[in-house]
Chain A
């Protein structure tokens, strides 16, 4: 890659940051260049975010229909999935799945709710409802 090929069209997921890339200058030396990003990297990040958004919205509908607890909604909203939620909380996946049942979720102890809230960076009050 030559310096003039380093993507500079911009990538809105980078929030104005620039990333360092390595490219060849006029003398053939490979040097560091700040890149504003481009379509390729933007597309795949947006695709990943869209995938998460779809899961989050589907969970919201299920919460509204009484089929799952707000925990599942928040899990996706905070960019986790079931295996990751299990890793960050230390709870077994089947146990978390049980906590998705609205009746069981309503009866969860403060400690367990707090653990979920902590790993997701929200409060217990937030966790209890949809935003």
Chain B
């Protein structure tokens, strides 16, 4: 069985979910960038979740939880999004084929561990990896995976494994596609509303979220025991969550800065361009933290948890000042 959705354009993106959202909406006539999808859904955040362990270390998220971006598209674009999960694996695969035959591009949730085109060193059990299926050739599905530069292929057996992986955030065969998009242009109101939401998250009162979450992480890092061999793994884990898994900290700050530049044009508020520049500098601060941490991991510099903690506190200070300014800019 060969099927191909014509006119679908694969795009490279920094993050899977914002990439899928922008490709999917653009395909259906609401032409938006990845940065717009990311910003408009209010996906930028920070959360330090010591009780959720990821490979033995706490989860540190630099964005909202999975599916927040897709769901965040519903209101600004007056969308009806169809989500479907399956108990029966064969049924889930058949449904995908049916949708392709009807000419839909289909978003699916997968586990990165089972995707054969992922480099071996990157295949971890992460269940919330989103991608788009845009065709089928023989036994191979044609895949637009936003985190790869070019389109990929995946055999049916592997894709089934990936869609029905079990564990934390199990995809359960989730597939999705837009049924209706009532609004194709981004409005200034939607942009301002989303910024308000992000400001609220980042400056909110919950101790593990936003600026307060960064401080909590900083305090935890400051207390790391230099004699414990695992302490350096802890630091490496923070950097890995920041730089590697879903681009993370610095990456999302640059992505949001790109959104603010677009937001300035849409709303006519020039101040947002100045703030984009400030956020760019904050992103650089996260990169400097990563660089310093890696120098310590490599033993080029003495392991100094206090210094790392200081750098994180500085990030918290800068982000606090930034989001307060952003709040004033949209008032």
* Same assembly: yes
- Size of chain B's interface in residues, with CB distance under 8 A? 53
In the complex, the answer to whether A14 meets B35 with C-beta atoms within 8 Å is no
Q: Which positions 22-52 of chain A face chain B at CB distance < 8 Å?
A: 22-24, 28-32, 34, 39-41, 43-45, 47-49, 51
**Given known A20-B147, A90-B166, contact A40–B55 (CB-CB < 8 A):** no
Pair A44/B166 contact, Cβ less than 8 Å? no
Beta-carbon nearest neighbor of A51 in chain B = B233
Cβ contact within 8 Å between A45 and B167: no
Name the one of B149, B257, B277 contacting A18, with C-beta atoms under 8 angstroms: B149
Contacts of B119 in A (CB 8 A): 13-17
A19 contacts B247, C-beta separation under 8 Å? yes
Asked if A126 is at the interface of the complex by the 8 Å CB criterion, the answer is no
Is B168 engaged at the interface, CB distance under 8 Å to the other chain? yes
Which chain B positions have C-beta within 8 A of A29? 261
Say whether, besides A47-B233, A79-B125, A22 and B168 are in contact (CB < 8 Å).
no
For residues 144 through 191 of chain B, which have their beta carbon under 8 Å from a beta carbon of chain A?
Answer: 146-149, 161, 165-168
Q: Is A30 touching B243 in the complex (CB atoms < 8 A)?
A: no
CB pair B121–A121 under 8 Å, yes or no, is: no
| Residue of A17, A32, A43, A87 touching B298 (CB-CB under 8 A) | A43
Contact residues in B for A88 (Cβ distance below 8 Å): 125, 165-167
CB of A34 within 8 A of CB of B254, answer: no
Does A30 contact B161, Cβ atoms closer than 8 Å? no
User: Does B227 count as interface, using CB distance less than 8 angstroms?
Assistant: no
- A103 part of interface (Cβ distance < 8 Å): no
B13: chain A residues at CB < 8 Å are 20, 32
Looking at B24-32, B62-70, B194-202, B279-287, the stretch in contact with chain A turns out to be B279-287
Is the Cβ of B14 less than 8 Å from the Cβ of A19?
A: yes
Q: Per a CB cutoff under 8 Å, which of B123, B237, B280 touches A79?
A: B123
Q: Is A119 on the interface with B (CB-CB < 8 A)?
A: yes
